[in-house]
Structure 1
Amino acid sequence: MLRQTVLGLLLACAVSFSRCSPFGDGGMLILWAQTASQISEFPAQDGVVTPNPWHFYSRMSLYRLVIGATDKYMGTMGTGNTDSPLWGLPLQLGWMLNSGRLGDPSGASTCGLDTGDTTCISTESWWACENYFVSVLPFLSAAQNGILGDGLQVRMQVPEGVTNYCTTYAECAAAFPDAMAKWDQFFQGLKASVDSPLPDAEKRDAILGLYWEAHMASTYASAACDAKKTHYSAQEVSFSQSWVNSAEFVSAARFQSSLDNASKFITPLPSRILKDGDVAPDIADLSTEENNSLQVFARIDSINASMGGTLVTMWKRSMCSVQARLKGAELLEQMLLSPASSPVTIVSMGAAIAMTC
């Protein structure tokens, strides 16, 4: 029943893009109750299921179905039904909707804008394109690996005239072989984990390792979306790159992106697309927390650049054990949520953690 929380009460908040939390009562995602809970709720043609990932409810449904189908393999993550690391993905999509980042930034249509269909996801949005790689690709892999039922065939719908998105497992595997292979390994590893003799802590860490390898492979593949960045301000482009770069640190720490954990990182993200002239911490219509998160992202990028890119390398090397990764995840959370923390701490703490390797 938790997943059936009355999230529909927050529909007006979400579709009007007002600045409000992407979470409903009980900490659940807005609009979750409007998504599909069974594959049979998707349209089908000639025995092939045909979801429409260019509609918010349908794309969010991809997450709901995969999360529901993999819950039985996630026992080492915790005792609740929101402990799966997959929860970080629908949280990101909910934030993108609320902040207007799924709308058409080109001006060619009103798709996703408050002057049109606010649940439409634009093929011209860089954010929507990047998210395609962590929504459609894992869903197609889950279907291919029998997670969603035996013999399930899926072909994603695509708007007329749009040709630069893969729509089937075979197409995506041909276009982005590393990303699809990593998602295959994740789902196969999940199924195998049931019979694994490893202690729960090690099993959990192994599952998170497979998840983040797949997530990062999709992130790298989403470089195919980069041309769409021309629609945005320099400030939004800089933030988008910082947001992508931050995943390097989070993934190396094998952060357990459960609903509760991931929400701490999603809530302070900027609640609108950044414009020319937006300079944190002095963006008047953004909250203190939003300004702080933008500063943290910018400082990490600045430090990494000044070190010739070696900050990420050093951090990855320091995440060499289960305990080191737990400490790393705690450090990242502290840095983002505490205004008094400095990204420089990554350097000193990363070096200290590395000494234990």
Structure 2
Amino acid sequence: MVQKVDSDPGRHMQNQSAVEEFILLGFQGQPALLFTAFLTIYLAILLGNGLILVVTTCDSALRTPMYFFLRNLSGLEICYTSVLLPKMMANLVTGDLTISLQACATQMFFILFLGATECFLLAAMAYDRYLAICLPLRYMMIMNHRVRARLVAGSFAISFPVQLVQIGLIFSLPFCGPNVIDDFFCDIPPVLNLACADLFLNELAVYLENVLFVIVPFFLILASYVYITRTILRMPSKTGRQKAFSTCSSHITVVSLFYGSAMLVYLQPKTPDKVVSLLYTIIIPLCNPLIYTLRNREVKAALSRLFGRKPSFEVSSEIT
């Protein structure tokens, strides 16, 4: 009797060895020390961004478009790190490094969704600075409550369906093993590296997503600051130029850190660097409140009023 030979051994391997969970290697070292470090960072992120949420909501002096966007950015940072850090800390405490395919897909979706939303939110903040500096007489008329609410809602709305499609494409792939992810969260490059299928469509989707959510907002920000710089350089007063630059400095710093680290990861997807990933997923949300408070007298004055203290400096009128 002639034995029937399976014409597709790869399919047989997929059926017999389908991966149901991944192993997140994370950071190797002393679990107690790493847990303490990440817990401290997480609490600092919650405290710093939470204070910005409170002070920009409660203080009437900060109810301007610029601080409306800052409040949304802080809320986004809290959600973003809450997707990552609790799972990391749980892995360190329990020693269980596994994550199911469903949990991995959910984590990846929220990371992509919130990260892409932040890209467009940063672009909206650059547009806000463009209007404030280049069109100051029409600023409040253009950047009214309805417009800024639509800009924020649009940042979320653009990202949501695209990331759903992206997650569907990725997790419809067969994963036959190995199942070890050399990272601390479910990111696109290391997960795709584990798939046993043709990745052309997925790599094309990743490329198009990078263009839409990284390159396009970046060039919108760049264009805004070209016009801003040209306008500032034409100002006759040195004091006016300094005030105008001061209203942009914090945003420029955040954009430089965020886009610089994100591009290092996603424009070279084959070999992602855990340290670089740590920078833009955790360290930048930790630094953002410091950047926006240490460099902003209005926020420092509002924090002083919040805690019942008189500001130790005079708050000068700035372009808001």
Q: In terms of Rg, which structure is larger?
A: 2
TM-score, length-scaled by structure 2: 0.34
Q: Which has the higher helix share?
A: 2
Q: Structure 1-normalised TM-score?
A: 0.32
Which structure carries more relative contact order (alpha carbon 8 Å, separation 6+)?
A: 2
